[in-house]
Amino acid sequence: DVKVTQSSRYLVKRTGEKVFLECVQDMDHENMFWYRQDPGLGLRLIYFSYDVKMKEKGDIPEGYSVSREKKERFSLILESASTNQTSMYLCASSSPEGHLYEQYFGPGTRLTVT
Amino acid sequence: EDQVTQSPEALRLQEGESSSLNCSYTVSGLRGLFWYRQDPGKGPEFLFTLYSAGEEKEKERLKATLTKKESFLHITAPKPEDSATYLCAVHHYNQGGKLIFGQGTELSVKP
């Protein structure tokens, strides 16, 4: 079974803090994604990566950055957390092998910025 | 514009009352349509992939079907444990590995 893990289930940070959310997958997937999910807005793509050291902006990249130094690990960074970044953050991975593109999600990190 | 629309937004059923959820899409060059189940406070759980019109997939009380414009998730004799939000997503040419997600249908099954 594909396993995607996220570093924390719940996180509380203060405004202005630098926040790191980490995601690790164990299926050797090339593609990794970061989403945020808010009531009424659905899943919104923040950043994604097709390979090590590669990154591309999604639909809402402002206020975020990412790092992918190893294939299995994809980090989301909030440079200076703000209250409007309080949300559920979801990491996912997929493989283009066989053109499947099925995304497998982690359990999510509920981030609260106060 | 590429779009995925799910209906209804919310659905309440009695245990054993069969029904269907709809996912309509307006993308060209569909390469795959995916169904997910999401429980409150958790990440989406992958259910099915459908690749071409006429294809069907089944898992326990769930059956997913695909036409050229929409997909249905049929739930037969649902149980309270089927209560969740069901998400639909599509993948098409020129999107790389990105998926376009619908807003989801929140299903509640009462005993």
Q: What is the CATH number of the domain that holds A31?
A: 2.60.40.10
A110 within a domain of the structure (yes/no): no
What chain B holds in terms of domains, given with CATH numbers, is: 4-110 (2.60.40.10)
Three-state SS string over A47-89 comes to: EEECCCCCCEECCCCCCEEEEEEECCEEEEEECCCCHHHCEEE
A111 within a domain of the structure (yes/no): no
A99 within a domain of the structure (yes/no): yes
Which residue in chain B has the smallest CA separation from A3? B45
Q: What is the mean predicted confidence (pLDDT) over B8-32? A: 94
Number of domains in chain A: 1
User: pLDDT tens, A21-40?
Assistant: 999 999 999 999 999 999 98
User: pLDDT tens, B88-110?
Assistant: 999 877 677 889 999 999 999 99
pLDDT-derived band at A101 (thresholds 50, 70, 90) equals confident
Task: State which residues form the domain around A8.
Answer: 4-105
Query: Who among A90, A94, A107 is closest to B97 (CB)?
Result: A94
A32 within a domain of the structure (yes/no): yes
A65 within a domain of the structure (yes/no): yes
- Interface residues on A facing B, Cβ-Cβ cutoff 8 A: 4, 30-31, 33, 42-43, 45, 48, 50, 58, 88, 90, 92, 94, 96, 99-108, 110
A113 within a domain of the structure (yes/no): no
Query: Who among A43, A96, A108 is closest to B42 (CB)?
Result: A108
CB pairs under 8 A between A and B: 55
B40 touches chain A (CB under 8 A): no
The Cα–Cα gap between A78 and B69 comes to 39
Q: How far is CA A60 from CA A47, A57, A67, A91, B70, in A?
A: 8, 8, 16, 15, 27
Query: Who among B44, B91, B98 is closest to A45 (CB)?
Result: B98
A94 within a domain of the structure (yes/no): yes
* pLDDT over 90 at B1, yes or no: no
User: pLDDT tens, A79-94?
Assistant: 999 999 999 999 999 9
pLDDT-derived band at A99 (thresholds 50, 70, 90) equals low
Q: What is the mean predicted confidence (pLDDT) over A84-112? A: 91
Q: What is the mean pLDDT of chain B?
A: 94
A112 within a domain of the structure (yes/no): no
